[in-house]
Chain A
């Protein structure tokens, strides 16, 4: 469903992504990990065109992301994204956060949007907070609302950019549980994270990046038992206790 072919990107002379090639098939859960500055967040943001890239090709469901004729807004409406810093809209209530995209982008009626939004708020366990504002919620609750906001658009795939990195430790699991549930239901997911427990549980493949390159792209069993590269071995030794 998502294909990346020799994608490269640089800021001036600094090369953030070098010849990255991979794909995510329908129902795959692909975890992207690597040291900070390895380009993993940049890579995931190129998939929905939030980060432009200079070389290579990305297609999502047959649509080319880099093609200037592509209507990026239309494509993005079909891909859910969850950010490290939640990015709920602070001037809107929780319910409005999960309906504004449906109403303004998809053109759904307010009733239909409310029904769908509340269904997903219920699913992620924050329906009781629907009339509150984001600043009144804990980080874990906000991130779950962000997931509900993305899901209510009925995405064909979900992108997660370090969804638990800004959370207090005791809130990480409530967010991961929601993501595990999604993965088990067959949602196509690309997840940048250091949560190797999550990767072991639901990932179909693990991608390891270093200095803008995809160094490893293996089924999770292979990645965890016998990583091919020295860098991946060192990385795993550091973060898996």
Chain B
């Protein structure tokens, strides 16, 4: 049971990190673009999601996404859409945070690099994909991983929809066996070990990095 819970927590984390980084990178490029409409929409999006508590975003999505899916895709009302809602909510929410990290990462690459790639005849898209983003991602990798670690911890908030993630499972077992304190201490220890190990690995990787 605890294993299933951990698998669910990791699944939500993995999907939200992957979608969040891709969508966040697009938002960051929109925000840095010369087109006002794109810039303003990205700013609006980021500020909106960063000003609302995650737990409220989750709740709204648990209420909204199932209805939308049922209407648009005519999914049967009996289908359990809590996981889908959670994945969408976390992805959209995290994208706002990732976009700010990625924007800072892009700006950390010197302007001369863009000029040099333009001078070689690259288009804006090629420059971003081949020259700027690879450097930006290397610079911001520690921050991206740290954000992923925070996200992993935040997945415990899906308890508001009674989805059985790691935390939910631990709580459930504790309640069933009358050992809530022990199980919660144990769950906390597991979160700590995973997150601490991940951040130590990032630090080691940073030192071993070949260039710069």
Contacts and interface: CB of A to CB of B under 8 A. Distances in A.
A91 B134 contact: yes
A87 B122 contact: no
A190 to B, nearest CB: 13
A69 B130 CA distance: 25
Interface in A72-86: 72-74, 76-81, 83, 85
A74 B119 CA distance: 10
Contact of B116 (A74, A87, A105, A135): A87
A100 interface: yes
B210 interface: yes
A137 to B, nearest CB: 11
Contact of A73 (B112, B115, B122): B122
A106 B131 CA distance: 16
Please classify the interface of chain B as helix (H, G, I), strand (E, B), loop, or mixed, using the class held by over half of its residues. helix
Contact of B121 (A45, A76, A85, A90): A76
Interface residues of B, number: 21
A105 B119 contact: no
B126 interface: yes
Contact of A50 (B119, B123, B211): B119
Residue among A74, A78, A90 with max Cβ neighbours from chain B (10 Å): A90
B121 A135 contact: no
Contacts of B118: 50, 72-73, 76
Interface in A81-111: 81, 83, 85, 87-91, 100-101, 104-106
A213 interface: no
A76 B119 CA distance: 5
Contacts of B135: 89-91
A153 interface: yes
B121 A105 contact: yes
Between B116, B117, B134, B212, the greatest number of chain A beta carbons within 10 A of the residue's beta carbon is seen for B116
B34 to A, nearest CB: 11
Contacts of B123: 73
Interface string A110-135: 00000000000000000000000111
Contacts of B211: 90-91, 133-135
A104 B117 CA distance: 11
Given A77-B120, A77-B121, A153-B120, A89 B212 contact: no
Given A90-B212, A91-B135, A133-B211, A105 B112 contact: no
Contact of A105 (B113, B115, B126, B210): B126
B50 interface: no
A149 interface: yes
B71 interface: no
A206 to B, nearest CB: 24
Interface string B106-118: 0000101101111
B138 interface: yes
Contact of B126 (A45, A88, A89, A104): A104
B130 A100 contact: yes
A187 B208 CA distance: 43
A50 B123 CA distance: 12
Given A50-B119, A77-B120, A135-B212, 10 more contacts: A76-B120, A77-B121, A85-B110, A87-B110, A87-B113, A89-B135, A91-B135, A101-B120, A150-B120, A153-B121
Interface of A: 45, 48, 50, 72-74, 76-81, 83, 85, 87-91, 100-101, 104-106, 133-135, 149-150, 153
5 contacts: A73-B118, A81-B119, A105-B121, A135-B212, A153-B120
Interface of B: 110, 112-113, 115-123, 126, 130-131, 134-135, 138, 210-212
Q: Which 6 A-B pairs have the closest CB atoms?
A: A77-B121, A87-B116, A101-B120, A81-B119, A105-B121, A87-B112
